[in-house]
């Protein structure tokens, strides 16, 4: 794993390391050569690790007080909020932590889209990332069901009913998922079990994600390969550790703002009403981080095709490395891709907005156009663009544009001639 042989200094360290090379691993993580031009968009990997640990720790504590039973779940959450010492704080951190987790993961994904981090040789890192993202959505959805409020119950009903769209076996699958003929106690207990399990699956995948990352090393804003270790790289510690740490502090300020000043702003008031299988809330909306996909689901008038469109919207990301035909990674050198990138960002934001609105009239029309564009971007624009686009010449090394003052070589050249 390491680029050079490592021998612990102390005799005891050497004895231990010969038997279990943990110190070699620690040394690799410390010295890991990192491109020196990484910007702040690269700090979200560390932030996401923090988010995962936060969710696991707060979740563990909540599980000590929560009761997974249809008759008691809602009350036990109120018990946590009112009676348990600091229960309100722990629950608000956990609930808002999920939103912060998704905020960070979306920035992380869109950073990858901008700088082409999913391209060869990093396809496996990317695919593991998409699996983690899918598991995050599953965990978040099931976690939202646990308080057994109105949104919990009806969200669970709607999402599990998506499986009824499967031809022939759909109804059987849904009954199997529920453990009954509707969302009820058996559903709640299994959701609790899975909600507890998934974070640890994610943790395992994060290890693989980082392992796969450490084989080729980080991509960087210029998107060209770096020789490592060389003058293009700096050791992970202390350089990246400090930078990640600073970004994490900034992120925690945002996190703390939500926890202490607006703990319920990202939730839905209806979830403070206990689940009632006889009354559907007037307007069912999922949590904000699922809204773009919800908009895609609703924009298709056919049940099965709607579900297929929604799943495809996520799974299409897994084959992205092969849909994007351009060999150039960074959007900095792809003037057209850069514009389409920002259109895609706007498109997803629009989908998120209309996902929160009623599915009728103008909103429905906008959702349909935005859905069509989403697929157009991945299935048509990206493959064609890679073949047609005239890219800007790449610099020879990541040091060159840094010294020239611009990531664009032509600009750097211009500056150089001015200096001369």
CA distance 311 to 315: 6
Beta carbon nearer to another protein, 170 or 235 = 170
CB of 95 to another protein, least distance (A): 23
CB of 144 to another protein, least distance (A): 16
CB of 227 to another protein, least distance (A): 43
CB of 182 to another protein, least distance (A): 3
Beta carbon nearer to another protein, 126 or 163 = 163
Contact 177, 118 (CB under 8 A): no
Among 367, 310, 340, smallest CA distance to 116 is for 340
CA distance 198 to 122: 25
Beta carbon nearer to another protein, 274 or 400 = 274
Q: Where are the beta strands (DSSP E) in 338-382?
A: none
CA distance 100 to 11: 44
CA distance 389 to 327: 11
Beta carbon nearer to another protein, 135 or 300 = 300
- Write the DSSP symbol of residue 32: -
Beta carbon nearer to another protein, 280 or 325 = 280
Site residues (vs another protein, CB under 8 A): 154, 157-158, 160-162, 164, 175-184, 186, 190, 277-284, 298, 300-304, 306, 358-360
Look at the chain and count its residues: 420
274: which strand partners?
Answer: 149
Contacts of 33 (CB under 8 A, 6+ apart): 3, 217, 226, 228, 229, 230, 233, 234, 235, 236
3-state secondary structure of 378: helix
Beta carbon nearer to another protein, 18 or 302 = 302
Contact 401, 378 (CB under 8 A): no
CB of 149 to another protein, least distance (A): 16
Q: Tokens at residue 129, please?
A: 């990332």
Beta carbon nearer to another protein, 253 or 278 = 278
Beta carbon nearer to another protein, 312 or 397 = 312
CB of 352 to another protein, least distance (A): 17
CB of 297 to another protein, least distance (A): 8
CB atoms within 10 A of CB 256: 12
**Could you give the C-alpha distances from 362 to 367, 380, 411, in angstroms and in order?**
9, 26, 45
CA distance 311 to 330: 28
CB of 365 to another protein, least distance (A): 14
């Amino acid at each position: 794993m390491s680029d050079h042989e490592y021998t612990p200094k102390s005799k005891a360290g050497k004895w231990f390391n010969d038997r279990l090379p943990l110190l070699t691993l620690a040394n690799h993580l410390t010295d890991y050569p990192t491109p020196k031009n990484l910007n702040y968009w690269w700090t979200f990997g560390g932030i996401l690790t923090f988010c995962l640990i936060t969710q696991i720790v707060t979740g563990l504590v909540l599980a000590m007080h929560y009761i997974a039973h249809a008759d008691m779940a809602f009350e036990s959450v109120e018990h946590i909020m009112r009676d348990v010492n600091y229960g309100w704080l722990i629950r608000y951190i956990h609930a808002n932590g999920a939103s912060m987790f998704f905020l960070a993961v979306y920035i992380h994904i869109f950073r990858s889209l901008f700088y082409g981090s999913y391209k060869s040789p990093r396809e496996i890192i990317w695919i593991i990332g998409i699996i983690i993202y899918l598991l995050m959505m599953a965990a978040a959805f099931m976690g939202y069901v646990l308080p057994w409020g109105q949104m919990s119950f009806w969200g669970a009903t709607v999402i599990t009913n998506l499986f009824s769209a499967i031809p022939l076996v759909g109804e059987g699958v849904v009954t199997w998922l529920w453990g009954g003929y509707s969302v009820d106690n058996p559903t709640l207990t299994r959701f609790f079990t899975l909600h507890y399990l998934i974070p640890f699956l994610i943790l395992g995948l994060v290890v693989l994600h980082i392992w796969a990352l450490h084989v080729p090393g980080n991509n960087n804003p210029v998107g060209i390969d770096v020789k490592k270790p060389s003058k293009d790289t700096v050791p992970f510690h202390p350089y990246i550790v400090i930078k990640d740490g600073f970004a994490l502090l900034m992120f925690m300020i945002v996190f703390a703002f939500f926890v202490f000043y607006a703990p319920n702003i990202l939730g839905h008031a209806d979830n403070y009403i206990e689940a009632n299988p006889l009354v559907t809330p007037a307007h069912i909306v999922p949590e904000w981080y699922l809204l773009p996909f919800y908009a895609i689901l609703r924009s298709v008038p056919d049940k099965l095709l709607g579900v297929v469109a929604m799943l495809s919207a996520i799974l299409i990301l897994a084959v992205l490395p092969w849909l994007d035909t351009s060999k150039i990674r960074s959007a900095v050198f792809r003037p057209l891709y850069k514009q389409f990138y920002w259109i895609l960002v706007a498109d997803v934001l629009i989908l998120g907005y209309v996902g929160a609105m009623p599915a009728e009239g103008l909103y429905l029309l906008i959702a349909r156009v935005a859905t069509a564009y989403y697929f157009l971007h991945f299935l048509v624009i990206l493959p064609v663009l890679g073949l047609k686009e005239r890219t800007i010449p790449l610099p020879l090394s990541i040091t060159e544009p840094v010294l020239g003052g611009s990531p664009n070589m032509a600009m750097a050249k211009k500056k150089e001639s001015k200096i001369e």
